[in-house]
Amino acid sequence: MAKKNLGRISFFENKLSEKNSFCGSVVSNSYGSKLPYKTRSLCPECTRVLPATVYAKKGKVFISRKCPLHGVFDEIYWESASEFERARKFAHKSRGIGTSNVSVTKNSGTNCPFDCGLCTNHQNHTALANMVLTNRCDLSCWYCFFYAKDGDPIYEPTIEQIDKMFLNLKAQKPVATNAIQFTGGEPTLRKDLIQIIKLAKKRGFEHIQLNTHGINFALNPKLAKDVAKAGVSTIYMSFDGVTAKSNPKNHYEIPRALDACRAAKLAVVLVPTVIKGVNDGELGEIINFALNNFDVVRGVNFQPVSFVGRMPKSLRNKERITIPRAEKLIEEQTKGIIKQNYFFTVPCVSSVTNFVEAITGSNQYSLSTHYGCGAASYLFFDGEKVIPLPEFFDVVSFFDFLNKSAQRIKSYKLYNFKSTRIIESAKLLIELTKCVDSKKVPKGIDLVKMLVDVLVKHDYSSLGKFSDKTLFIGMMHFMDSYNYDQQRVERCQIHYAMPDGRIIPFCAFNVIPQIYRDKVQKAYALPWEEWSKLNSDKSPGLKYKRNVDKFENEEIYKKTYLEKNNF
Amino acid sequence: MKQTIFKKGLKGFAQKKYPFEEVKIVSFSYTNTLTKEETAFLQYQLLLNQGVLQAHLEYSTKQGILVGLITTDFSSELKKLGLEVKFNLVEWMTYKEFVEKNSR
């Protein structure tokens, strides 16, 4: 097997050297190509950048490269080549960014991913900015890599530093960042959290998320009301399974936490990290749980596990799961109601951006991330029946129409010519009626009207009603050093703002922490003892102690873990 | 040593915006014949040094630029990696300016 892999690697290495084109452009130029395609990856042992090949074998997709010191690394990339091909068709050309956050070194990313960032080679603006508010956490989960252990320096950017990061994100071109997620550690441990949220709102962030384990909402429901009042719209809540065994982090506190969010009118997105052999048997049950708490849970965003540090192949194979496998398991565990082909890769929605940009003639917020990064679908739920959106709406034809329509408008070069837009808007209405299966559409949903309102009139009021009846099911597979694909990191749209002025793609920040996350946080951190002295009311290492009996016997616990099966 | 912020005691610490006062920017050219992979790897190795805040080595022009703490001995760092360099320019700027330049 190793011999076979070596052969494959050498073939592509030769091809690469023939063209003498081992540079960022090779990676960019091959984006959207059929398998096999050339990219760059990392050596998981020494972090050397290496030419790599993404290829299909036995119906699966692998990424392979050879380090001169550590040999061949051949890792599963997607567990279905046919699903990868279906996603690839939505590959969308990115428009780049108009700003650089590495002005002093003036680099253009030739040594990607060591040149972040963002450099001028980066392909996409920030769709969601992450901001670490603290590295403290009151839990110490065995699988978590990102919290200060006893004695570690404490990183908590000051309000001034945070404001600087806000302004930096807002200065981004061609589209200013509009969505931000506060994360940690555990961000609710910050005493000035409310002040930070208010400042974000003041700086113009329309969508503010809080990434939390929710325990502090369970213990203090007023906190949920306070964060909502300050401007948070969505709680991104860890939720790894429906049992105490699969979700040791917050199983007992989830009912109270959801109830606090319910009272505060906060939308909750559950975020399960999916690990093969640990909780991959509960994906359907997690969605079912979300439906049983549909009044407060607006989505589930599954995150297939990404490995931190070095890990033997046997263990990786034991725990690795990728997007298509998770989708397939959802299909199996929901009795075929949520089919695998109901999931669409993230950049499919770029068609909507194309159309709106053509109609308005101005740059719009775009989701043109790599098609291998994530996928999503929507479910309608009336309290009784689950109807996935693609069941009654022809998503592919609709997106295809939007792309063609955008091309027509642009080719006319008549951005300001009203009649072109009127004609295309009328065609949109006709096309929409063709795409919607009126026999299967859920009662009370006027999908055609809603889409016309959003796409043509830019009236988003009906979107709220739509969202109230739907559950978002998403997948986001962050990379690790074993499945690292530079093509993906170049297109990343989930970025971390750092206090030194740089904005770092998620999978550079977390996969190469030694030159990004840890390094900068160390520079800005306070020694443990000094932090303790400054915050004399608590120790940075203070851990939460759970009273299981108290939670388990509460009415809200029984109500939340309702034994109602919607599939 | 300009990394004085931790040495000044606790009073007023929370108001401090920057961990360093000044940074040094060194531009240089190198004569070694390197592949693009080797160039990227050397840049990575430079960045592992806590005293190097940013670095870029350009394969096509054999030029490099390092930004770091003023106490960092860039010459010996580059020598350790086997790079034969000729320094072109050494500049200083406040760390605040450095952050401002990044923030665009």
Task: Tell me which of A42, A110, A155 to substitute to probe the interface with B (most B C-beta atoms closer than 10 Å).
Answer: A110
Residue A2 has pLDDT above 60, yes or no: no
Choose among A22, A102, A534: nearest Cβ to B10. Answer: A534
- Residue A403 backbone dihedrals phi, psi, to 5 degrees: -65, -45
Q: Is A65 on the interface with B (CB under 8 A)?
A: no
Q: Is A176 on the interface with B (CB under 8 A)?
A: no
Residues A42 and A165 occupy one common structural domain: no
In degrees, rounded to 5, the angle at the alpha carbon of residue A540 between the alpha carbons of residues A539 and A546 is 80
Can you tell me the mean pLDDT for A508-518? 95
Q: Is residue A72 part of a domain?
A: yes
Q: For residue A113, say if its preceding peptide bond is cis, omega within 30 degrees of 0.
A: yes
pLDDT band at A264 (very low <50, low <70, confident <90, very high): very high
CA distance B49 to chain A (A): 9
Give pLDDT, residue B16. Answer: 60
Give pLDDT, residue A255. Answer: 97
Beta strand pairing status for A207-212 and A179-183?
parallel
Give pLDDT, residue A272. Answer: 96
Residues A140 and A259 occupy one common structural domain: yes
The whole-chain average pLDDT of chain A stands at: 88
CA–CA dist A182, A208 (Å, integer): 8
Give pLDDT, residue B5. Answer: 38
Lowest mean pLDDT among A245-254, A311-320, B51-60, B63-72: A311-320
Q: Is A526 on the interface with B (CB under 8 A)?
A: yes
Give pLDDT, residue A420. Answer: 75
Lowest mean pLDDT among A135-149, A218-232, A278-292: A135-149
Q: Domain end: A14, A45, A78, which one? A: A78
The whole-chain average pLDDT of chain B stands at: 85
Q: Domain end: A78, A94, A116, which one? A: A78
Give pLDDT, residue A543. Answer: 86
Sheet containing strand B52-58, strands side by side:
B52-58, B63-69, B22-30, B85-94
Q: Is residue A284 part of a domain?
A: no
Residues A132 and A204 occupy one common structural domain: yes
- Which 307-366 residues of chain A touch chain B by CB within 8 A? none
Among the listed residues A114, A158, A146, the one whose alpha carbon sits nearest the alpha carbon of residue A524: A158
pLDDT band at A6 (very low <50, low <70, confident <90, very high): very low
Residues A57 and A163 occupy one common structural domain: no
Q: Is A534 on the interface with B (CB under 8 A)?
A: yes
Lowest mean pLDDT among A21-35, A62-76, A336-350, A461-475: A21-35
Which residue would you say has higher pLDDT here, A461 or A218? A218
CA–CA dist A284, A567 (Å, integer): 9
Give pLDDT, residue A287. Answer: 98
CA–CA dist A305, A318 (Å, integer): 11
- Write the CB contacts of A142 (distance below 8 Å, at least 6 apart in sequence): none
- Which 96-125 residues of chain A touch chain B by CB within 8 A? 99-107, 110-111, 114-115
CA distance B23 to chain A (A): 11
Among the listed residues A156, A137, A45, A63, the one whose alpha carbon sits nearest the alpha carbon of residue A484: A63
Structural domain containing residue A498: 127-171+178-271+493-562
Give pLDDT, residue A448. Answer: 84
Residues A65 and A138 occupy one common structural domain: no
Q: Is residue A237 part of a domain?
A: yes
CB contact (8 A) between residue B56 and residue A519 = no
Task: Tell me which of A161, A515, A516, A520 to substitute to probe the interface with B (most B C-beta atoms closer than 10 Å).
Answer: A515
CB contact (8 A) between residue B56 and residue A160 = no
In degrees, rounded to 5, the angle at the alpha carbon of residue A379 between the alpha carbons of residues A378 and A384 is 170
In terms of Cβ atoms closer than 10 Å to its own Cβ (0-12, 13-18, 19+), residue A32 is: middle
Can you tell me the mean pLDDT for A450-479? 83
Residue A9 has pLDDT above 50, yes or no: no
Read out DSSP for A119-168? -TT-----SEEEEE--S--S---TT---SPPTTPPB----HHHHHHHHHH
Can you tell me the mean pLDDT for B51-68? 94
Q: For residue A304, say if its preceding peptide bond is cis, omega within 30 degrees of 0.
A: no
Can you tell me the mean pLDDT for A209-217? 97
Q: Is A519 on the interface with B (CB under 8 A)?
A: yes
Can you tell me the mean pLDDT for B32-46? 94
- Write the CB contacts of A131 (distance below 8 Å, at least 6 apart in sequence): A162, A165, A180, A181, A182, A183, A496, A497
Q: Is residue A515 part of a domain?
A: yes
- Write the CB contacts of A396 (distance below 8 Å, at least 6 apart in sequence): none
Residue A535 has pLDDT above 70, yes or no: yes
Q: Domain end: A78, A95, A115, which one? A: A78
Give pLDDT, residue B57. Answer: 95
Residues A132 and A211 occupy one common structural domain: yes
CB A128 within 8 A of CB A208: no
Angle between helices A254-264 and A221-230 (to 10 degrees): 40
Lowest mean pLDDT among A51-55, A141-145, A332-336, A337-341: A141-145
- Write the CB contacts of A102 (distance below 8 Å, at least 6 apart in sequence): A115, A116, A117, A118, A119, A502, B54, B56, B102
CB contact (8 A) between residue A114 and residue B104 = no
Q: Is residue A556 part of a domain?
A: yes
Tokens 């063709």 -> residue: A434
Q: Is residue A459 part of a domain?
A: no
Task: Tell me which of A106, A114, A156, A484 to substitute to probe the interface with B (most B C-beta atoms closer than 10 Å).
Answer: A114
Q: Is B14 on the interface with A (CB under 8 A)?
A: yes
Tokens 């974000």 -> residue: A200
Residue A18 has pLDDT above 50, yes or no: no
Beta strand pairing status for B63-69 and B52-58?
antiparallel
Which residue would you say has higher pLDDT here, A493 or A16? A493
Among the listed residues A37, A49, A62, the one whose alpha carbon sits nearest the alpha carbon of residue A483: A62
Residues A159 and A217 occupy one common structural domain: yes
The predicted-structure confidence for A149-203, as pLDDT tens digits, reads as follows: 777 889 999 999 999 999 999 999 889 999 999 999 999 999 999 999 999 999 9
The predicted-structure confidence for A543-559, as pLDDT tens digits, reads as follows: 899 989 999 999 999 99
Residue A21 has pLDDT above 70, yes or no: no
CA–CA dist A236, A209 (Å, integer): 7
Q: Is B55 on the interface with A (CB under 8 A)?
A: yes
Read out DSSP for B8-34? S-STTGGG---S-SEEEEEEEEE----
Q: Is residue A444 part of a domain?
A: no
Instruction: Please name each of the domains of chain B with its CATH number.
Output: 21-94 (3.30.70.100)
CB contact (8 A) between residue B6 and residue A527 = yes
* Predicted structure pTM score: 0.91
Domains in chain A, number: 2
In terms of Cβ atoms closer than 10 Å to its own Cβ (0-12, 13-18, 19+), residue A336 is: exposed
Choose among A103, A110, A524: nearest Cβ to B104. Answer: A103
pLDDT band at B56 (very low <50, low <70, confident <90, very high): very high
CA–CA dist A143, A273 (Å, integer): 10
Give pLDDT, residue A19. Answer: 36
CA distance B55 to chain A (A): 7
Q: Is residue A11 part of a domain?
A: yes
Choose among B10, B19, B25: nearest Cβ to A104. Answer: B25
Residue A14 has pLDDT above 50, yes or no: no
CB contact (8 A) between residue A501 and residue B6 = no
Q: Tell me, what's the ipTM? A: 0.89
CB A513 within 8 A of CB A498: no
Lowest mean pLDDT among A92-101, A151-160, A203-212: A92-101
Residues A214 and A153 occupy one common structural domain: yes
Residue B82 has pLDDT above 70, yes or no: yes
Residues A66 and A191 occupy one common structural domain: no
Cα of A133 vs its chain's centroid, Å: 19
